[in-house]
Chain A
Amino acid sequence: EAGVTQSPTHLIKTRGQQATLRCSPISGHTSVYWYQQALGLGLQFLLWYDEGEERNRGNFPPRFSGRQFPNYSSELNVNALELEDSALYLCASSRWTGGNEQFFGPGTRLTVL
């Protein structure tokens, strides 16, 4: 069974640009979650999608947005990049019901210069 995949592995942008990160969940998983892991700040919950709908979002500004496609893959968009957006962005997938572990991808390292 293929795991969660994320692309690109690394992304370098300059301040003010837009970044697009992609995630493909494990087959059969309908929920996709996005987390930001900045240096020294642990895991910060960004967004949760299930069946194409946004189910919840964390305490991030609206310039962080995303969507989930009919095949359950997902895209995270970050507009008007700021230096503090530099972080490892992790995607996870799971089945909808509670008690199921989230499976994590390897992450996308975003660097904003």
Chain B
Amino acid sequence: AQSVTQLGSHVSVSEGALVLLRCNYSSSVPPYLFWYVQYPNQGLQLLLKYTTGATLVKGINGFEAEFKKSETSFHLTKPSAHMSDAAEYFCAVSETNTGNQFYFGTGTSLTVIP
């Protein structure tokens, strides 16, 4: 079975600083990987996804993530944090051969300090 680990349930960065949110997964088959963002009292919105091809994936709002198979990681980064980036971030993985069941990490709450 798949599992997803997000290191750090709470991350604080200063406005303008680098954002790094960590995600590691376990998988016995090639994974599909996703990052979602959730603003208070809203549903989840897709930031970016990796399926095949280029391992560096660019998403919305200046975020990107790199799939590293050897490290089983899919960390999310943004060069310069903005106040509007404050939200909950979820990493998810799905299997390639059994429909589209998702496995979510426990989430990381990002605080941006002015």
In the complex, which of the residues A56, A101, A103 contacts B101, with contact meaning CB atoms closer than 8 Å?
A56
In the complex, which of the residues A45, A88, A99 contacts B51, with contact meaning CB atoms closer than 8 Å?
A99
A43-B90, A99-B94 as given contacts; A33 in contact with B102, CB under 8 Å: yes
B107 to chain A, nearest CB (A): 5
Proximity string of chain B (62-97) to chain A, C-beta cutoff 8 Å, 1 when within and 0 when not = 000000000000000000000000000010101111
Residue A100 CB within 8 A of the other chain: yes
Proximity string of chain A (84-105) to chain B, C-beta cutoff 8 Å, 1 when within and 0 when not = 0000101010111111111111
| Interface size range of chain A in the complex | 20 to 34
- How many A-B residue pairs have C-beta atoms within 8 angstroms? Tell me: 70
Residue B28 CB within 8 A of the other chain: no
Interface size on B, residues (CB 8 A): 28
Residue B45 CB within 8 A of the other chain: yes
Bound CA span A21–B90, Å: 24
Residue among B36, B44, B90, B92 with the highest chain A CB neighbour number at 10 A? B44
Residue A25 CB within 8 A of the other chain: no
B93 to chain A, nearest CB (A): 10
Provide the residues of chain B in CB contact with A52, threshold 8 Å.
none
Provide the residues of chain A in CB contact with B51, threshold 8 Å.
99
Are B106's CB and A42's CB within 8 A? yes
In the complex, which of the residues B43, B95, B100, B107 contacts A106, with contact meaning CB atoms closer than 8 Å?
B43
Residue B34 CB within 8 A of the other chain: yes
For B33, the closest partner residue in chain A by CB is A99
Provide the residues of chain A in CB contact with B113, threshold 8 Å.
none
Provide the residues of chain B in CB contact with A48, threshold 8 Å.
99, 101
Q: CB within 8 Å of B: which residues of A? A: 4, 31, 33, 35, 42-43, 45, 48, 50, 55-56, 88, 90, 92, 94-107, 109
Q: CB within 8 Å of A: which residues of B? A: 32, 34, 36, 41-46, 49, 51-52, 90, 92, 94-107
